Amino acid sequence: NSGFRIGLVQMSVGKDVDKNLGKAVEKVRHAAKKGAQVICLPELFRSQYFCQQEDAAFFDLAETVPGPTTEVLGKLAKSLGVVIVAPVFERRAPGVYHNSAAIIDSNGLLAGFYRKMHIPDDPAYYEKFYFTPGDTGFRAHETSAGKIGTLICWDQWYPEGARLTALQGASVLFYPTAIGWHPHEKAKHGEAQRDAWRTVQRGHAIANGVYVAA
């Protein structure tokens, strides 16, 4: 492979899911203008991170795949000729929901799909209330740009996920992520937490001979 340029979108989100999607579309266009061929959006980007509390009303944010988000981003990918990694709060069946990512190829079609495997459950990260652990396994996906893998957020602390994805030929591992600091911990633990996180990401890249985009 002759190599390809990637774009990582980092964006703030509000309460209006359609405005968030519109903002994501603009960010993808911006990245494509700068030459990105594979563009990754943040975890659960269509809404604010709702897992800070347990509230059944948030299940209304979930959608099917294919569905509204993949339809809009599929058309966008085709019109721009880019690959998009599109995280989705997936409604799979009544009572079964996943934290997922659709890999949309430059022809607008689904090139692959991943469901988050490692689901945290801590104060302010009540993900086990919302998400069933993924059953897709760790995969590499053939796209027009090259072979890529995507995992999601807390997966990024586990070397096994990186290894299994890299063994299938992925040249880049994407880790779309929604979380940042615990504000009350940042002053005391922030530097150590950030150093640990960077070290683990670098470890994935070095141990597997791949690029890591997180």
Q: Which residues belong to the active site?
A: 43, 116, 153
Which is it for the CA torsion 24, 28, 33, 35, positive or negative? Answer: positive
| Angle subtended at Cα 2 by Cα 39 and Cα 112, rounded to the nearest 5 degrees | 40
Which stretches of 48-153 are DSSP H helices?
Answer: 68-80, 127-130
Number of other CB atoms surrounding residue 68 within 10 Å: 15
Closest CA relative to residue 85, chosen from 98, 94, 76: 76
One-character DSSP codes across 175-197: --------HHHHHHHHHHHHHHH
Name the token pair of 16: 């209006």
End-to-end CA gap in the chain: 22
- Between the CA of residue 6 and those of 58, 148, 173, what are the distances in Å? 32, 11, 11
